[in-house]
Amino acid sequence: MNTASAQANSTSSADAATKGAISIRNVTKIYDPDGVNVLAVEDCSIEIAPGEVCMIVGPSGCGKTTLLNAIAGFHSITSGQIDLDGEMLCGPGKPLADQGADRVVVFQNGALFPWKTLADNVAYGPIVQGTMTKAEAYGKAVDMLAEAGLSGVAGKYPGEVSSGMARRAEIVRALINDPKVLLLDEPYRAMDALTKSIMHESLLEVYDRTKVTIFFITHDLEEAIFLGDRVIVMTTRPARTKKIVDVKIERPRDYRLLSSEEFRVLVEETKGAVHEEAVKAFEAGERELA
Amino acid sequence: MSDRDVATQGPSGLSLFLYKTKKSFGTPMPYLAFVGIGLWLFTYWLLNEQLKISPFNKIPGPAEVLTEWFSQDPIWGTSLFTEDYWQNIKASCLRILIAFSLATGLGVPLGLFMGWSKKFKDYTFPVLELLRPIPILAWVPLSIVMFQSFEAPILFLATLASFFVTTLNTMLGVQSIDESYFRAAGCLGSKRRHVFIHVVLPGSLPFVFTGLQISIGVAWFSLVAAEMISGEFGLGYMINASYMVNKYVTMVMAMLTLGFVGWITSAMVRAAGSQMMQWREKALGQGGA
């Protein structure tokens, strides 16, 4: 029964899963804010398949956000290359990627425009890109917000709704552009555990529906294993891949997974690697760069 | 409980205003203002007309001023019922309207561009910082040399003072906008003009209106100074002219009138700000109430 309904609306999912391959090859990033070179990312290579949920785990300030910023086009890279679906985003001769709606970021502290209603926020992308008229974009925004359970607050400003609702609306604002990749930068960092679990399930639901490639940065290992297809543990600065964990847990997933045996085993296996880096980062006492 | 609709749409517009007004009269707030003014008047009266302590006994007392103010047949020739009183208010208000509009019309766009474009700021900021500390009174001789009429130097001085405040605050407003809004706009496919219209402009509004509040005060300050030096009509002129002919009662009346009119103009700027920043009003309302 599930397969039948899945096939019925799988046309877009199947298309979506063919796009959004990210290839990070030998990327190095050196900052020199005070005349002293700081190596944030060193010779980092990650291949992400189309439609994969790739979780990047590492201690705060380890350089994981640097990678995200390079993909999004907020920061340049020093050497190496990043491709999206075979096309170079940044690399030799072009250190800074162009910003574009094919890679939409959901920010750590939330970046819905506080001066626009949720519906206006969501409709913003298609309007400025010129892909929809104002009326079309607004209509689609209202529909998509309703789909995410936000129909009652579409006309409200971000300051009037809970942080959980705001973050969900921000993901809707990204999805309306039909992006190849969703870049999430510790989006649930400041949330309490209960809200966080609701956020996780709603993100899983979005993923099951769209099969969009997700590049998700977090320092929460359980979150990473619960959501991801693959968890990449990064070393503390300079960031390199330390350990890669394949999460072969079936989808769709829900909160019951958290108490299952296979989940606990995966967490136990990976905890050591994460903890080791956290200790190193703590002892180095480095502040975050980006 | 049933007569209190919880989830339905609340009142808006005028009815919301009336509801809030009615609600506020249930709190001590509006009465405190009257108590404050009453206390001040009482102290003034006590020091001046009762105890006659120097230097307070050298100025006209509150009873004397109020009697004159509301007199149909004022001893010194000016009251609420004489035409010249209103003519002076009108002259000053008109000048403020022109000067404040000019300063806002020039200062806000200039400040926006300075905050938005690093290059533009590098060109303009040093000049602004060089001219800004020059006190407005130091501009008086120059303005008289530059403009031949009575009116133009006054407008020039009021505009200039107000312009500096507005420009600087607007620039700071743009710089205060969180970087992540620019990034969000960028990754949603904005072109530069979209960023300007949808991020720079609305994001700087809170600072802009703080600036406008200060700027209208500064406009009044420099207007009155200018009216006292050169000019015909206006509240500053009224103060100076009364002083010259020893009409101290009229002088104090003009000062208090200035206070009232200045208060009203500030309130108007505040109201315009709230109107333009509904998003902020609502978010604050959620947190406060």
- Select from B187, B193, B279 the residue whose CB has the most chain A CBs within 10 Å, as the one to mutate to test that interface: B187
Report the residue of chain A nearest B192, measured CA to CA.
Answer: A128
Count of CB atoms situated within 10 Å of the CB of B145:
9
Interface check for B189 against chain A (CB to CB < 8 A): the answer is yes
Interface check for B186 against chain A (CB to CB < 8 A): the answer is yes
pLDDT higher than 80, residue A80: yes
Report the residue of chain A nearest B286, measured CA to CA.
Answer: A160
Mean pLDDT in residue range A114-140 = 94
**Percent helix, percent strand, percent coil in chain B, to nearest 5:** 80, 0, 20
**Full DSSP string of A140-155:** HHHHHHHHTT-GGGTT
Contact A177 B189 (CB under 8 A): yes
| Alpha-carbon span A110 to A267, nearest angstrom | 28
Q: Which residues of A are less than 8 Å from B286 in CB distance? A: 159-160
Are A213 and A21 within 8 A, CB to CB? Answer: yes
Contact A105 B277 (CB under 8 A): no
Position B230 scores a pLDDT of: 73
| Alpha-carbon span A261 to B200, nearest angstrom | 51
Count of CB atoms situated within 10 Å of the CB of B28:
9
Q: Which residues of A are less than 8 Å from B276 in CB distance? A: none
- Select from B188, B201, B277 the residue whose CB has the most chain A CBs within 10 Å, as the one to mutate to test that interface: B188
Percent of chain A with pLDDT over 90: 51
Tokens representing A7?
Answer: 């096939």
Are A158 and A169 within 8 A, CB to CB? Answer: yes
Q: At what angle do helices A163-175 and A134-147 cross, to 10 degrees?
A: 130
Position B90 scores a pLDDT of: 95
Mean pLDDT in residue range B44-49 = 88
Contact A111 B178 (CB under 8 A): yes
Residue A16 binned pLDDT confidence (cut-offs 50, 70, 90)? very low
User: How close A180 gets to chain B, by Cα (Å)?
Assistant: 12
| Alpha-carbon span A187 to A185, nearest angstrom | 5
Contact B189 A125 (CB under 8 A): yes
User: How close B190 gets to chain A, by Cα (Å)?
Assistant: 6
Residue B16 binned pLDDT confidence (cut-offs 50, 70, 90)? confident
Encode A232-249: b = buried (16+ Cβ within 10 Å), e = exposed.
bbbbbbbbbbbbebebee
Residue A288 binned pLDDT confidence (cut-offs 50, 70, 90)? low
> At CA B278, angle to CA A161 and CA A105, rounded to 5?
50
User: How close B267 gets to chain A, by Cα (Å)?
Assistant: 23
**Pairing between strand A213-218 and A53-57?**
parallel
Are A228 and A54 within 8 A, CB to CB? Answer: yes
Are A27 and A82 within 8 A, CB to CB? Answer: yes
Q: ipTM of the assembly?
A: 0.88
pLDDT digits (tens, 9 = 90+) for B154-211: 999 999 999 999 999 999 999 999 999 999 999 999 999 999 999 999 999 999 999 9
Tracing tokens 């420099």 back to the chain, one arrives at B222
Are A111 and B180 within 8 A, CB to CB? Answer: yes
Integer angstrom CA distances of residue B105 from B102, B172, B194: 5, 17, 21
Domains of chain B: 19-58 (no CATH), 83-288 (1.10.3720.10)
Position B11 scores a pLDDT of: 65
A129: nearest CB among B178, B189, B282: B189
Interface check for B187 against chain A (CB to CB < 8 A): the answer is yes
Mean pLDDT in residue range A102-112 = 91
pLDDT digits (tens, 9 = 90+) for A181-197: 999 999 998 888 888 88
Integer angstrom CA distances of residue A184 from A3, A33, A103, A148, A242: 29, 25, 10, 18, 21
DSSP state at residue B245: T
| Alpha-carbon span B95 to A217, nearest angstrom | 58
Find out whether the peptide bond into A238 is cis, omega within 30 degrees of 0.
yes
Position A15 scores a pLDDT of: 47
A109: nearest CB among B180, B185, B283: B180
> SS3 sequence, A228-278?
CCEEEEECCCCECEEEEEECCCCCCCCHHHHHCHHHHHHHHHHHHHHHHHH
Position B4 scores a pLDDT of: 46
